[in-house]
Chain A
Amino acid sequence: MRAETIEKLSSLGFLGPLAFFIALFIVLPVTGTFVDSLFRDVVFLDRAFIGLENYRALFSHPGFWNAMRFTLLFVIVSVPLEILLGLAIALTLNETIPLRGMIRAVVLIPWAIPAAVSARVFELIYNYSYGAANYLVRVLGISREPVNWLGTDLGAFAAVVATDAWKTTPFVAIILMAGLASIPEILYAQARVDRAGFIRRFRSITIPLLWPVLIVAALFRTIHALRIFDVIYVLTGGGPGGATESVSLFAYRYFTTGDYGFGAAASVVLFIMALSLSVFYVRLGGFGKRRRE
């Protein structure tokens, strides 16, 4: 009896540091942001409770809907693109090829470079007069005129998607590679005996068995894409004219200008979107049930 109590107490001690950090630097700030969103919390003005006034102002703010539209469009375009590219890379690297270890290491490079740094590299790539993108446009004869990548709505959108895809496709590829490696080789061997072609094997073995991992990768990417900030802040600054302004960037602007209440309301909306997706994800993956047996 006594020993059991000691065990219980010591387990609390072991969980202590984790609980301390998460409570103080995640749970408390999120709660604080929720509370702030209900206040008029502007630098140099008295703090006052205003209920849902910030949210009302937010939902009637055209800039917010613009940021919302961009963020959702970005998720819808970039996640499937990254999954497709990642799948192509994973399928390639899952085969027995020479120097496979080396190539895998190379795939990790874009993932390991800070997004802010790679965004700076892409800023140069999209430079109007001498960037690599317009060099390709000219050399491949795609267009006689250089493309104004960062100065037009569509160009800037494509630039942000491509920059993000470069940075995050490796992550998708690595997750999918692990999924592919766990498919038993014997299934493919049997399918070959049954004279199933490459496409047939891909459709009937690879896709169904990879499906759970694909879902995990897609949801991880969705949740990260939803909060995109670094790439946009550095590459386009939300421009031109707000065409690539994400919800995170929108909220950040209000924090830096000292309107904490309004910025908090915008982050709460983003938070709720992310949370509903993670609940969906936890349900879909059946985590928690499978974990402890």
Chain B
Amino acid sequence: MNRPDARNLLLFFGVGFTLLFCLSPFVYMLLTGFNTSPDFLRPGGNMAFTLDHFHTVIFSPQLHFPRYMLNSIVISAASACITVFAASLAAYALTRLPVPWKGPIMVFVLAISMFPEVSLLSYLFKFMSALGWANTYQALILPYVAWTLPLSLWILVSYFEQVPHDLDKAGLIDCASRLTILIKIILPVAAPGVFSTLLLAFIFAFNEFLFALMLTTDYAARTIPVGIAMFQGMHGEIPWGEIMAAAAVTTLPVVILTLLFQRRIIQGLTRGAVKE
């Protein structure tokens, strides 16, 4: 066997492994969601297609599934927007204005993102309960904003640094205010970066579990991950078909986002983590 053949064989296995590794649990989830019974892999088990599980999950009033979905989308979208707003302002100041201790501020913000969530948990719970905000949207939105800010700031700073400083000098000569420059000049030029940040902040908030578990008590504000984690059957037997149908509906928006915007997401992630 010559060299290119060996290389191709190795690549073939690499690609095969990658696809199998990433997709098989996902496909298994879909198969179970569309099957009458989850035991089709049992010896002698067979498959029978049904839409019942999806129908139950979407239309059964006891499960509150559409409500969880709505909560998740509103909470994640709101926190992503607020995060990007706060992070853009800060990133503008850190790249353009004479802020003292820029380096230490960046490192401090990075160090904060390393804190374990559990070390904020009890205090946030008490704080939100004291305000009467337990089980409300704001009880999750506010901590999510704080929680996604460090990553957003790092990504936006790296994008803003690349916007030529001459552009805002021109704006200053025209006597535009700093805020106008940020909105009219920097943000449009750095739009791809802002969009990446928005996507990542949304996905992080959408996936968050521990705060949502502690700070919500019922469907009024409970998010999808917690809803699915708590999804239990009424008669003892775990309703796998319905859980997997719910999981499939949940993953649909994030999977579509990732497939559509993979380039943006990968850029954002690597900007946040790898500084060249």
Contact = CB atoms under 8 A, between A and B. Distances in A.
State whether these chains interact: yes
B124 A25 contact: yes
Given A115-B207, A291-B106, A166 B21 contact: yes
Nearest to A282: B107
Contact of A270 (B116, B142, B147, B214): B116
B145 to A, nearest CB: 5
Contact of A30 (B17, B119, B147, B254): B119
Tier of interface size on chain B: 35 or more
A150 interface: no
Interface string B254-271: 110111001101100110
A255 B124 CA distance: 11
Contacts of A140: none
Given A22-B112, A115-B209, A248-B117, A289 B18 contact: no
Interface stretch (A48-56, A58-66, A272-280): A272-280
Interface string B59-94: 000000000000000000000000001110110111
A117 B251 contact: yes
Contact of A116 (B90, B178, B229): B229
B203 A112 contact: yes
Interface stretch (B48-56, B189-197, B242-250): B242-250
Contacts of A129: 39, 42
A248 B274 contact: no
B136 interface: no
A205 interface: no
Most chain B beta carbons < 10 A, residue from A116, A216, A234, A288: A116
A124 B116 contact: no
B107 A14 contact: no
Interface in A14-47: 14-18, 20-22, 24-30, 32-33, 36
A114 B225 CA distance: 6
Interface string A98-134: 0001011111111111111111111011010111100
A135 B266 contact: no
A128 to B, nearest CB: 11
Contacts of B85: 17
Contact of A108 (B213, B224, B229, B266): B266
Given A21-B149, A174-B269, A175-B269, A11 B117 contact: no
Contacts of B243: 120, 124
A230 B225 CA distance: 9
A245 B102 CA distance: 40
Tier of interface size on chain A: 35 or more
B175 interface: no
B143 interface: yes
Contact of A107 (B22, B120, B255): B22
Interface stretch (A72-80, A151-159, A219-227): A219-227
Nearest to B86: A17
Nearest to B240: A124
Interface in B113-130: 114-127
Chain B interface main SS type: helix
Contacts of A234: 229
Contacts of A22: 109, 112, 146, 149
B176 to A, nearest CB: 13
A88 B145 contact: no
Contacts of B114: 223, 274-275, 277-278, 281
Most chain B beta carbons < 10 A, residue from A106, A119, A285: A106
Interface in B142-192: 142-143, 145-147, 149, 153, 178
A182 B109 CA distance: 26
Contacts of A30: 115, 119-120, 123
A287 B244 contact: no
A33 B250 CA distance: 33
A174 B270 contact: yes
B255 A112 contact: yes
A284 interface: no
A89 interface: yes
B262 A216 contact: no
B5 interface: no
B41 A130 contact: yes
A260 interface: yes
7 contacts: A7-B98, A15-B99, A29-B120, A89-B14, A105-B258, A114-B225, A124-B243
5 A-B pairs with the lowest CB-CB distances in the bound complex, closest first: A92-B14, A25-B146, A32-B123, A14-B93, A178-B270
Interface of A: 4, 7-8, 10-11, 14-18, 20-22, 24-30, 32-33, 36, 85, 88-89, 91-93, 95, 97, 101, 103-122, 124-125, 127, 129-132, 135, 138, 166, 169-171, 174-175, 177-179, 182, 198, 213, 216-217, 220, 223, 226-227, 229-230, 233-234, 247-248, 251-252, 255-256, 260, 263-264, 267-268, 270-271, 274-275, 277-279, 281-282, 285, 287-292
